Structure 1
């Protein structure tokens, strides 16, 4: 039959075993001597044997009491360790949080967020997965990520998602391209231009197809996976590229110009978590910090420097 022994009984037993005096043990346990005596009797009844030899002059452990003392101290240590560990998690001194994010976010604003998070909670381990939209959601679905920063799409409907920002689009071209002299570019002005596209599986491409609409732009024949590849193709005059503002950092090392696209259509960036699972305290703190930074404006720091470096038109 399982024993029904409370931690209070264990603390009373250890106090009496160490102090070998009912009055002093009762004082340590903040109880009366008679109450302590009742607790010891109850414990002995649960164990099924006497744990103490006691007379008018002394209190001593029985051989069985000596054995039980070792187990009792171990149990108390485990209980205290469990509460200390939980206190650390509650205070965010320990724990872990995992984020999945689009490469454009993982390379620009998230490092700043993670650095601030680690300053506030140095004991919490943070991991970052940089992936396209669908893989971000797959990581979230599998429980490999607590939060995802990704573009809007139909697969996001199964999650708890909120919009953090709307990412406007830019036309990136060489400095000697006719479009480079413009302050803004309308989608219709891309008629006849050869476009270097990102892969059809990317969130960027899906928005670009909407932006172009009926614009008679020409296909350069390049559908690439990586922004760095697109930048290299544009640099060699093989076309122009239509990309969101948060990706402009990929073009800053090249002598290119980025001109704002005049359109109300923007790429929504979502902060996503699972509907069926509560966040850990560490993950909740990360979510709150991301929202805090978002309210202050995502386009500071690294990304703004990148945009300024590659264009005087933005």
Structure 2
């Protein structure tokens, strides 16, 4: 079988895996859809197994297809490296690292990591892609990302993906320093709901923890809250209004350290979110990914994820208050 499978079979399969649609895969390859269907049928016939489930709403990889995808990406990368070697570059080659990150992580640990990576590999470019965890995992499996900084997922989503824990961060409720709740004697979950909320979208891990916090107090997140993954928008809403921003701590760390925002003394218990490096578990180690992994370990072990850019100030929090016994 290995003597009959050609690179056109592999390229066709990868296009389908990345587009999840035969028509869009055909456009990507500048072919007709019947030609793509025929090539895929040839590959499945040679393998004697179905790799793609076709349907009215697109194409989905079977478990066998997910398994083959890991090795097909390696074939593609090897061909690209071989083609590059034949060209005989005159100038030092620029290597591009396709890095994915959760929005809250991108504003926390990523900047210092990229600065150190630049120092060690000046000829390296980085394309940073921010997205939800599910989108990062899909892009990583399809070979659109070299690695990502995100969270663990269900076992079915983690097939072919390894996870290296970097740190765990709690949720905080960030407000501007002059917020009424900062001087309230007894800030409570109920009192928080008297103000606009800025929260993560439904289905994300921070939102699941936020919902669980209010559920534990027989409350719920109101429908008129602002849902966003944009750290820049959320922080400005909290700084310019009485909105309460419920966020992973690293996303608000700069503002909390400078005193532009303060954390309410309301502990969101059992909500520490493990953040780690995600990468494909098959294939040869990628030098840039290994270097980035080492840098991330340095930052998280020695500086809590922030790096030595400046001395850290204590995070401003509202004074804790005693609750009355009933």
Aligned to 2:108: 108
Q: What are the residue-to-residue correspondences of 1:300-311 with 2, within 5 Å? A: 300=307, 308=315, 311=316
Give 2:227's match in structure 1, choosing from 217, 224, 227: 224
Runs ≥4 residues deviating over 6 A: 182-185
Q: Does 1:298 align with 2:309?
A: no
Assess, with a 3 A threshold, how the Cα gap between structure 1 residues 196 and 114 changes in structure 2: closer, same or farther. Answer: closer
Aligned to 1:190: 189
More helix by share: 1
Report if aligned partners of 1:163, 1:271 keep a CA contact under 8 Å in 2: yes
Aligned to 1:23: none
1:174, distance to aligned residue in structure 2 (A): 3.9
Q: What are the residue-to-residue correspondences of 1:64-83 with 2, within 5 Å? A: none
SS at match of 1:165: strand
1:201, distance to aligned residue in structure 2 (A): 3.7
Assess, with a 3 A threshold, how the Cα gap between structure 1 residues 126 and 119 changes in structure 2: closer, same or farther. Answer: same
Q: Return the alpha-carbon distance in structure 1 between the equivalents of residues 212 and 260 of structure 2.
A: 28
Aligned to 1:283: 289
Q: What are the residue-to-residue correspondences of 1:160-239 with 2, within 5 Å? A: 160-181=162-183, 189-194=188-193, 195-217=197-219, 219-220=221-222, 221-225=224-228, 226-235=230-239, 239=243
1:183, distance to aligned residue in structure 2 (A): 11
Return 5+ residue gaps in structure 1 as ranges: 1-78
1:106, distance to aligned residue in structure 2 (A): 1.9
Aligned to 1:137: 137
Aligned to 2:275: 269
Q: Return the alpha-carbon distance in structure 2 between the equivalents of residues 299 and 284 of structure 1.
A: 19
Assess, with a 3 A threshold, how the Cα gap between structure 1 residues 282 and 174 changes in structure 2: closer, same or farther. Answer: closer
Q: How many residues align?
A: 226
1:293, distance to aligned residue in structure 2 (A): 2.1
Deviations 1:234-287 (A, max 9, x none): 456554232111110585699542235432430111211112333322222222
Aligned to 2:264: 259
The CA RMSD measured in Å over matched residues stands at 4.0
Report if aligned partners of 2:149, 2:276 keep a CA contact under 8 Å in 1: yes
Q: Return the alpha-carbon distance in structure 1 between the equivalents of residues 140 and 167 of structure 2.
A: 20
Greater C-alpha Rg: 1
Aligned to 1:157: 158
TM-score (norm 1): 0.59
Aligned to 1:5: none
Assess, with a 3 A threshold, how the Cα gap between structure 1 residues 235 and 121 changes in structure 2: closer, same or farther. Answer: closer
1:208, distance to aligned residue in structure 2 (A): 1.5
Return 5+ residue gaps in structure 2 as ranges: 1-81, 320-326
Q: Return the alpha-carbon distance in structure 1 between the equivalents of residues 186 and 311 of structure 2.
A: 18
Q: Return the alpha-carbon distance in structure 1 between the equivalents of residues 308 and 192 of structure 2.
A: 32
Assess, with a 3 A threshold, how the Cα gap between structure 1 residues 275 and 237 changes in structure 2: closer, same or farther. Answer: same
Give 1:243's match in structure 2, choosing from 222, 243, 247: 247
